[in-house]
Amino acid sequence: MAAKPRPKSDAPDASDRVSRIREGVTAAILEHRLLPGTKLGEDEIGEIYGASRTLVRTALQQLAHEGIVNIEKNRGAFVARPTPADAREVFEARRLIEPTIVDHAIDAVSPDWIDRLQHHLAEERQAELRGDARASVRLSGEFHRLVAEMSGHSIYLGFLKELIARSSLIILLYRRHDTPACGTEHHSGIVEAIRKRDKQAARAQMLSHLTDIEDELFLKEPAADELRLADVLGA
């Protein structure tokens, strides 16, 4: 069954050079190493990955389609800066989609998947324990992606990938305290519900988890740091 005569074009083909660039930049954004508004010069990135501008451009266009990069004509690519309105839309969409995703995940549950989830939880706890904020942020998002992969719905998975990436930027911009981005114990509870095949509980916990995250945000028009100046003057 491992035979893959024709790998689907959507496969996470890590050997592809464009994908390496895209995933590298995505990781940097999701780990909050690249801040919103940062200019992503084509030559600059090309130098780093040893690729020509053609490939860099392709990768940046994909990221723009995913909503985590803005491309301004004749000016270049920048890490996106979601507005509070964007933030509300993203979380509303997640509250709509993710409960349904866990439903399907439970339909597809298997010991193998439970193992994967538990292993992921262990990684999350480990990162949190050693105070690795970047890994924590990344793993928090990956948990949700893992559940979506488990559900087997490629459409929902694709949508959720976009929503998670944007959420990471939103949390960076608008969170109130320095609280850990995503409560690991919430994830643990969701895994428990999945293991018990308790759809009701899983949906409810996922929903309240998402609500908790959004409640930690301060979604007022003045963005986050010193950059509201740019917003006020640029609007």
Partner DNA sequence: CGGGCGAAGATTGTATAAACTTTCGCCTGT
Partner DNA sequence: ACAGGCGAAAGTTTATACAATCTTCGCCCG
74 contributes a contact to DNA by CB under 7 A: yes
Residue 163 site contact among DNA, its own copies, none (CB < 5 to 8 Å, cut-off depends on kind): its own copies
Binding-site size for DNA (CB under 7 A) equals 24
70 near its own copies, judged by CB under 8 A: yes
**Within 115-154, which residues bind its own copies (CB under 8 A)?**
153-154
CB of 46 vs DNA, minimal distance in Å: 8
Asked if 108 is part of the footprint of its own copies (rule: CB under 8 A), the reply reads no
- Cα separation of 47 and 54, whole Å? 12
Selected binder of DNA within 11, 13, 41, 229 (CB under 7 A)? 41
Distances (CA, A) of 32 to 28, 58, 79, 105, 112: 6, 22, 11, 29, 31
Residues 55, 81: Cα–Cα separation, whole Å = 24
Stretch that binds its own copies, among 43-51, 69-77, 172-180, 209-217 (CB under 8 A): 69-77
- Give the integer Cα–Cα distance in Å for 233 and 55: 35
CA separation for the pair 2, 120 (Å, rounded): 24
User: Which one of DNA, its own copies, none interacts with residue 97, CB within 5 to 8 A by kind?
Assistant: its own copies
Contact between 18 and DNA per CB under 7 A: yes
Contact 174, 219 (CB under 8 A): yes
* 234 contact, one of its own copies, DNA, none, CB 5-8 Å limit per kind: its own copies
What number of CA atoms fall less than 13 Å from residue 56's CA on the CB side? 17
User: Which residue, 5 or 111, is less far from DNA as judged by CB?
Assistant: 5
**Quick check: 177 binds its own copies (CB under 8 A)?**
no
Of 95, 81, 227, nearest in space to 166 by CA: 81
Pairwise CA distance, residues 21 & 33, whole Å: 15
Q: Does 71 bind DNA (CB under 7 A)?
A: yes
Among 34, 68, 79, 90, binds its own copies (CB under 8 A): 90
Closest distance to DNA from the beta carbon of 173 (Å): 23
Strand order in the sheet with 76-79: 39-40, 76-79, 69-72
For 141, residues 6+ apart whose C-beta sits below 8 A from its C-beta are 30, 164, 165, 167, 168, 182
The binder of 206, among its own copies, DNA, none, by C-beta within 5 to 8 A per type, is none
Q: Which residues bind DNA (CB under 7 A)?
A: 7-8, 16-18, 39-43, 51-55, 57-58, 71-77
